[in-house]
Amino acid sequence: MKKAEALQRIENLSRELNHYNHKYYVENISEVSDFEYDKRLKELQELEDQFPDLADENSPTKRVGGDITKKFQTVAHEYPMLSLSNTYSEEEIVDWENRVKKLVAGKVEYVCELKYDGVAIGVRYENGKFLQAVTRGDGSQGEDVSTNVKTIRTIPLQLKGDFPEYFEIRGEIFFPLSTFNAINKKREEQGEELFANPRNSASGTLKLQDSKVVADRGLDCYLYGVFGKDLPAETHYDSVLKANRWGFKTPDVDNKYILKTDSIEGIMDFIHFWDEHRVDLPLEIDGVVIKVNSYAQQEELGSTAKSPRWAIAYKFQTEQASAKLEKVTYQVGRTGAVTPVANLSPVALGGTIVQRASLHNQDQIEKLGLHEFDTVYVEKGGEIIPKIVGVDLSCRKDNAKKIEFIEVCPQCKTPLKRFDGEAHHYCPNELGCPPQITGKIIHFISRKAMDIDGIGSETVEQLFNEKLIKNSADLYGLTFDQITSLERMGDKSANNLLAGLKKSKNVPFERVLFALGIRYVGETVAKKLRKHSKI
Bridge partner residues of 207 (DSSP): none
What is the pairing mode between strands 425-426 and 337-349? antiparallel
Name residue 151's amino acid.
Answer: T
What is the pairing mode between strands 86-87 and 311-315? parallel
User: Could you tell me if 206 and 145 are in contact, meaning their C-beta atoms sit under 8 angstroms apart?
Assistant: yes
User: Could you tell me if 170 and 227 are in contact, meaning their C-beta atoms sit under 8 angstroms apart?
Assistant: yes
Quick one: which of 66, 171, 70 has its CA closest to 121?
A: 171
Quick one: which of 332, 330, 512 has its CA closest to 438?
A: 332
Q: Find the length of the chain.
A: 535
SS3 sequence of 422-482? CCCEECCCCCCCHHHHHHHHHHHHCCCCCCCCCCCHHHHHHHHHCCCCCCHHHHHHCCHHH
DSSP one-letter string for 89-151: -HHHHHHHHHHHHHHSSS---EEEEEEE-SEEEEEEEETTEEEEEEE-TTSSEEEB-HHHHTT
Residue 33: how many other CB atoms lie within 10 Å = 9
Identified catalytic residue from 23, 71, 101, 115: 115
Task: Give the torsion through C-alpha atoms of 392, 393, 396, 402, to 10 deg.
Answer: 100
What is the pairing mode between strands 74-76 and 141-143? antiparallel
User: Could you tell me if 387 and 357 are in contact, meaning their C-beta atoms sit under 8 angstroms apart?
Assistant: yes
Q: What residues have CB less than 8 Å from 22, skipping those under 6 apart?
A: 156, 247
Name residue 489's amino acid.
Answer: M
Q: What residues have CB less than 8 Å from 200, skipping those under 6 apart?
A: none
Residue 315 annotated among the catalytic residues of the structure = no
Bridge partner residues of 37 (DSSP): none
Q: How far apart are CA 322 and CA 484, in angstroms?
A: 49
Q: How far apart are CA 155 and CA 223, in angstroms?
A: 8
User: Could you tell me if 414 and 429 are in contact, meaning their C-beta atoms sit under 8 angstroms apart?
Assistant: yes
From residue 17, give the alpha-carbon distance in Å to each of 1, 126, 155, 164: 21, 20, 14, 23
Catalytically active residues are 115
